[in-house]
Amino acid sequence: MSELGAKVIGDHRVRYLIVGAGTNVLYFCLFWLGWHLLEGTVSYLVLTAATNLSTALIVYPFYRTFVFGRSDQTWLRGFWKFYTVYLVGLVTSLLGMPFLVEVVGAPVLLATVIMLAIQPVVSYLLHRFWTFA
């Protein structure tokens, strides 16, 4: 790897963007799959909560090791702090999704994309200065 490439990948902010993009793709894919498999049987808000927890469980190890390089606290304690930040995103989604779907009239999948787009900055700051501080 070139010196520039090593320097870029050595920056936790770049690693955060890489893992964060993958996290959003994973979240959307899980939500999309659930929406199409369970449509009409499960509320989009229940699906939002289930997708939030599922995604957090899958991506936590990547944030812990690759992005922030932390392994000094137990997995469970670290996950609890990590998921507390994820709960901010969940609450945002549980408030924003009904507004977008019921009031604005956006389709559920579009509302999901909009919610995914507004959460990364807040979650980065919370993870950087609290979860993995």
Q: At what angle do helices 12-38 and 44-61 cross, to 10 degrees?
A: 140
What is the structure's pLDDT at 55? 97
Q: What is the pLDDT of the chain when averaged over all its residues?
A: 88
- pLDDT above 70 for 91: yes
Check if the beta carbon of residue 52 is closer than 8 Å to that of residue 91. Answer: no
More confident residue, 89 or 7: 89
Residue 109's nearest CA partner among 63, 50, 48, 65 is 48
CA distance 102 to 86: 24
Q: Are 53 and 95 in contact (CB under 8 A)?
A: no
Q: Residue 4: its pLDDT value, please? A: 61
Residues 6+ apart with CB under 8 A from 69: 12
Q: Inform me whether the pLDDT recorded for 10 exceeds 90.
A: no
Alpha-carbon dihedral of residues 25, 31, 36, 42, nearest 10 degrees?
Answer: 180
- Tell which residue, 19, 41, 50, 63, has the closest CA to residue 112: 50
Percentage, residues of the chain above pLDDT 70:
95
DSSP letter for 103, please: I
* Residue 1 or 47, more confident: 47
pLDDT level of residue 39 (50, 70, 90 thresholds): confident
pTM: 0.84
Residue 32 has pLDDT above 70, yes or no: yes
Q: What is the pLDDT of residue 6?
A: 63
37 has pLDDT over 70: yes
pLDDT reported for residue 110: 97
Report, as an integer, the average pLDDT of 92-114. 96
| Spatial CA neighbour of 96 closest among 77, 116, 80 | 116
Neighbours of 104 (CB within 10 A): 11
